[in-house]
Amino acid sequence: MKSRKGIDDPIDPYLPQNGNRGYRVSRYDLDLTYKVHSNRLTGKATITAVATEPRSRFSLDLASSLQVTKVATNGSRNTKWLHRNGKLIVTPAEKIPAGGALVLTITYWGSPKPISGVCGEVGWEELAEGALVASQPNGAASWFPCDDHPSSKASYRISITTDSPYYTVANGALVSKHTRASQTTWVYEQTEPMSSYLATISIGPYEHRSIGSGNVPMYAVHPPRLRSAFDEDFGRQTQMMDVFTRLFGAYPFAEYTVVVTDDELEIPLEAQGLSIFGANHCTGEHASERLVAHELAHQWFGNSLTLGQWRDIWLHEGFACYAEWIWSENSGGPSAHELACGAHQGLARKPQDLVVSDPGPQLMFDDRIYKRGALTLHALRRRLGDENFFALLQQWTRTHRHSTVTVEQFTDLAAHYTDEPLRHFWDTWLVEKALPPL
């Protein structure tokens, strides 16, 4: 007889320490206070969930750098808890039945810092003046207790109180802002389901302004000194949005915000409804427009449609990389086919030792995943023709809007757009290590 999954059995073999069994979160209410100069965070997280099976205890992901002071279950302080090795184990006074309500209220504090793992350091990061959060793939636990796995999506309310000179932005719509003495409380509401790694906060000496005049409200958050450079480097975002909504389908969120920090960042960072760039990406020379398109495309591919297992990362990065090529051919640059040919030549010179559909945790953000994923889509486009290919993408984003997706779902959907079998096609591009001819 097959045994029941244990509370500590891994959700995902790529990140076996992350994610938890026995419940499904529907909402996070985060009430946070952050002191910028001392990097001190205090928080109260109210997590609304439902038990998916009878359980006497539940686990959450929470970094060891944060100290838990109180835990209540369904309003009862008669709750035992243990916090160690990045897990908070909560034992209610009574066993929770399958389908039973589970409301966890956790009070905590500490000096947040990034979490180290196979992908480097991710999560809460101090800046010269302020902070940002970049949690992909498993850094959310650096600043709040959560079920830190991409298949766990929930709505969020994020309230953060911090020093008044600083502007604070988080996911969703700003629903209130209140200043008292030297502190300001910002409250954001993210109604669309969101994976924990896509939750973010940016704090800094920024200005906030509306940009563009398209159908989707777009905003810029950046140091005042970068205003003119921002207008140069991000000036074509409205046109990008028009191209992507025409080819990918309706934009999946209410608005889009780009944050540019006063610090340099190695790479731009994606979050739901917004993207974060470093000052080095905002020079006024259009040097990062490819990345601007890439991050915008993630709102469809990665944020609205989110992988359920990290092995399927090409569903995010391959699609966003291909969006760079689509923007190029729709904005007077080289065609997607020209860029695909160049990418193919480059990949042909690199080691042929990576399986796109299962690269392993050490290689899941390897640049070859991005390029070969994009090449897979270009090869599929040439096989289906433009009309069928873009109809497929639009059905893909429409059918699975705000949900968790798998490679099998995409390949099954693609089969409806051709009379020819695609099994060999998918095997050569996604399963075999050798790069197939374009």
pLDDT tens readout for residues 216-269: 999 999 999 999 999 999 999 999 999 999 999 999 999 999 999 999 999 999
Domain extent for 378: 307-431
Tokens at residue 73, please?
A: 């279950």
Are residues 367 and 426 both part of a single domain?
yes
CA distance 397 to 265: 30
Whole-model pTM?
A: 0.96
pLDDT confidence of residue 3: 38
**b/e string for 17-39 if b means 16 or more Cβ within 10 A?**
bbbbbbbebeebbbbbbbebeee
Q: Let me know if residue 343 belongs to a domain.
A: yes
Are residues 282 and 245 both part of a single domain?
yes
Are residues 329 and 268 both part of a single domain?
no
- Please report, for residues 214, 261, 371, the alpha-carbon distance to residue 254 in angstroms, rounded to integers and kept in the order given: 13, 23, 30
Provide the CATH number for the domain around residue 332: 1.10.390.10
One-letter amino acid for residue 188 of the chain: Y
pLDDT confidence of residue 323: 98
pLDDT confidence of residue 214: 83
Provide the CATH number for the domain around residue 242: 3.30.2010.30
Mean pLDDT computed over 285-306: 96
Asked if omega into 137 is within 30° of 0 (cis), the reply is yes
pLDDT confidence of residue 8: 63
Of the three residues 237, 272, 299, the one that is the final residue of a domain is 299
Mean pLDDT computed over 103-121: 94
* Number of domain units in the chain: 3
Mean pLDDT computed over 203-213: 93
What does the CA dihedral 220, 225, 229, 230 come to, rounded to 10 degrees? 0
pLDDT digits (tens, 9 = 90+) for 48-102: 999 999 999 999 999 999 999 999 999 998 999 999 999 999 999 999 999 999 9
Are residues 325 and 232 both part of a single domain?
no
What percent of the chain is predicted at pLDDT more than 90?
A: 95
Q: Let me know if residue 311 belongs to a domain.
A: yes
pLDDT digits (tens, 9 = 90+) for 410-434: 999 999 999 999 999 999 999 999 9
CA distance 120 to 117: 5
One-letter amino acid for residue 99 of the chain: G
Q: Let me know if residue 414 belongs to a domain.
A: yes
Contact 115, 137 (CB under 8 A): no
